Amino acid sequence: MRALIFALALCMSFPTFAAERTLQTAGSRIAFAFKQMNVSMDGSFKKFSGKINFDAAKPETSSIEMLVDIASISIYEEADPEVIKPIWLNAAAFPQARFVSKNVKALGGGRYQATGTLSIKGASREVTVPFEYKEQGANAIVDGQFTLKRGDYKIGEGEWSAVDIVANDVLVKFHLVVAPAAATKR
């Protein structure tokens, strides 16, 4: 009986925590852009997932985890089989890129920034990701972008490590549709 009351109390107290919400693949997009011999190249990842505990009123209680399936990369036909090779992203050894953050703060005007750890190809770096968060019907829309240096993660080794042909800067852009907590199946 005591256990039951305790469980009930726990359930009732649960909404005070930021509810965990799951990323909806439909409508969400994780893309990137870089320069190749001064030509802008665009790419994207087709498979990714995420868990977002975010309360716009209390951003400091947030936790974010994003996982990106490296092999789902798409740039252009000839490049796609190349960039998953060990010299680039080594999808076989490091199938996922991961971003985790428990440090989110409000910047005002619906804008926030998440500081966390981005791990790609076995290398981890602290990154700060600014984003905009808005409720849209039952869903939440998260938009943002940040720049990473491919050299920090050894993306492109050997002859590719020179940045005169393929630039070092990679702009990561995301548009995430986050489903409401109630619809989240565990």
Partner 1 sequence: MQSYTGIAKTLHWLVFALMSGAFTVGFYMHDLPLSPSKLQLVSWHKWTGVTIFVLVLLRLTWRLMNPPPALPTHMSKLERGAAEGMHRVLYILMLAMPLSGWLMSSAKGIQTVWFGVIPLPDLLYKSPPLGKALSEVHEALGFIILAFVAVHVLAAFKHHFIDRDDVLARMVPGMKPRSK
In the complex with partner 1, which residue's Cβ is closer, 56 or 75? 75
Q: Between 101 and 168, name the residue whose CB sits nearer to partner 1.
A: 168
CB of 173 to partner 1, least distance (A): 16
- Supply the minimum distance, in Å, between the C-beta of residue 68 and partner 1: 20
Closer to partner 1 by CB, 40 or 128: give it: 40
Q: Nearer Cβ to partner 1, position 136 or 159? A: 159
Contact residues toward partner 1 (CB under 8 A) are 36-42, 75-79, 82, 159-160, 162, 165-166
**Minimum distance from residue 162 beta carbon to partner 1 (Å):** 7
Task: Provide, rounded to whole angstroms, the least separation between the CB of residue 157 and partner 1.
Answer: 12
Rounded Cα distance, 70 and 94, in Å? 8
